[in-house]
Chains A and B, each alone.
Chain A
Amino acid sequence: MAALGLRRAMAPLLTVIGLAGLFALLVVGHRMTVATGQDIPLVFHHRAHGGYNCVTCHHDFLKPVMTPATHRTCIACHRETPELVPIIRDQFHELCEGCHLNLQQQGRQAGPVHECRDCHVRRPDMQAHGRLL
């Protein structure tokens, strides 16, 4: 009877173990690679944002930095701060998408929302961290 009970419990048990393994692999894999993983190539049209307050993005304009601003990108800078690394994607999506969505809801002309290819352009000459145009 005990053997039969064990046999009956085996399939659900193996299923639970398999599912837990799959989801654990996803979470652990993400945590281990999020700091070093490849970013999706990104293009930011700086000129198109000329009409907006610079401080919206350049929040650190008072901080002294070693590298001139023209040689830095937003994402590369955020990557240097360990506590910001896991939330880089959420932060930047929130900043760009959130602003574009707000403008759209006000009935004003706005940049792309949600559609990846409008911001994440695949260009071989471009570094993964993004480039200002």
Chain B
Amino acid sequence: MFLTLPLFAAYSVFLLCFWPQGVMHLSIGWDVSMLCGFSALFLLLTLFALTGRPLPEPFFDGRFFLTLHRWLAWLFVGFVTLHAGGIIWLDPQTLYDLWPSGTPGMQFGAAAALLAVVTPCLALQRVRRGLYATAAMFRRSHALLAMAVLGASVFHVVATRVHVAVWWQVWMCIGVALVACMLPVGERWMLARMPMRRDGRRRRLHTAYLARRLAGVMLCAVVSETVVFVLWRH
């Protein structure tokens, strides 16, 4: 469970970087909805780091990483739903932005939300087997869709300028997204060149339940940190 601590620390840094220092005078409902959006973006970035391919640490079987990726993806979809649903419930006027004449930032946000639902649905075992002939085909298509979700989400965050408005925040957001896009390829490249330190160990099998627990811990961490953050800023 040592993956939890770095993820928890990364989320704290993420929130502090992308949340403005000054008080925004927003209602708690708005702040919670916005934080759900930021949590969703953080989980999306996490999905680029934990792609479902086995890592050297923890030395678990592939099922652990696949289950973790799957659960984190559904958490991401859940947070996107809370973010969009919360804002529409609080401010139904935002629905005007779904018309073609609406602001591009909001339209790209809607497109990102749509793709965020479509992408994990296409990765469901039954759909995947029916649509893609080989695993490589699925992997490339899934990567393209994921990059489109990330690109549209970052454009939404930057263009709406609700919280990410200062120039260094904008560049940092773009930079983090670019690094995330290159991370899966870079990870594979590095792992292929790293000497394997097995020390006579064998990968631990039947660890899918640990992935579910880790996803649960992450959900609790994200929710509790969000609540603390909102209370602190109010």
The reply on A72 being an interface residue by CB < 8 A is no
Chain A residues whose CB sits within 8 angstroms of the CB of B138 once the complex forms: 11
Identify which of B96, B101, B152, B162 gathers the most chain A CB atoms within 10 Å of its CB. Answer: B101
Q: How many residues of B contact A (CB 8 A)?
A: 37
Which A residues, 92 to 133, have Cβ-Cβ distances below 8 Å to chain B? 104-105, 110, 113-117, 120, 122
Complex contact B101–A8 (CB within 8 A): no
Complex contact B104–A16 (CB within 8 A): no
Contacting chain A: which of B129-137, B184-192, B202-210? B129-137
- Expressed in whole angstroms, the Cα–Cα distance for A34 and B96 within the complex equals 12
The reply on A12 being an interface residue by CB < 8 A is yes
The reply on A50 being an interface residue by CB < 8 A is no
- Expressed in whole angstroms, the Cα–Cα distance for A16 and B142 within the complex equals 11
Complex contact B100–A89 (CB within 8 A): no
- Expressed in whole angstroms, the Cα–Cα distance for A8 and B138 within the complex equals 9
Tally of contacts, chain A with chain B, CB under 8 A: 91
The residue from A11, A12, A115, A120 contacting B30, defined by CB atoms under 8 A apart: A115
- Expressed in whole angstroms, the Cα–Cα distance for A103 and B90 within the complex equals 25
Identify which of A39, A110, A116 gathers the most chain B CB atoms within 10 Å of its CB. Answer: A116
Distance between A26 CB and nearest chain B CB, rounded to angstroms: 5
- Expressed in whole angstroms, the Cα–Cα distance for A100 and B98 within the complex equals 26
The reply on B93 being an interface residue by CB < 8 A is yes
Q: A11-B141, A114-B24 are contacts. A120–B134 as well, Cβ < 8 Å?
A: no
The reply on B193 being an interface residue by CB < 8 A is no
The reply on B182 being an interface residue by CB < 8 A is no
The reply on B25 being an interface residue by CB < 8 A is yes
Q: A30-B101, A40-B93, A115-B91 are contacts. A104–B131 as well, Cβ < 8 Å?
A: no
Q: A8-B137, A26-B107 are in contact. List 12 more A-B contacts (CB 8 A).
A: A7-B133, A8-B136, A12-B137, A19-B145, A23-B108, A30-B104, A33-B99, A33-B101, A38-B99, A41-B93, A116-B93, A117-B90
Chain A to chain B: the 3 pairs with minimum beta-carbon distance, closest first: A37-B101, A29-B100, A116-B91
Which residues of chain B have a CB within 8 Å of any CB of chain A? Answer: 22-27, 30, 90-94, 96, 99-104, 107-108, 111, 115, 131-134, 136-138, 140-141, 144-145, 148, 152, 162
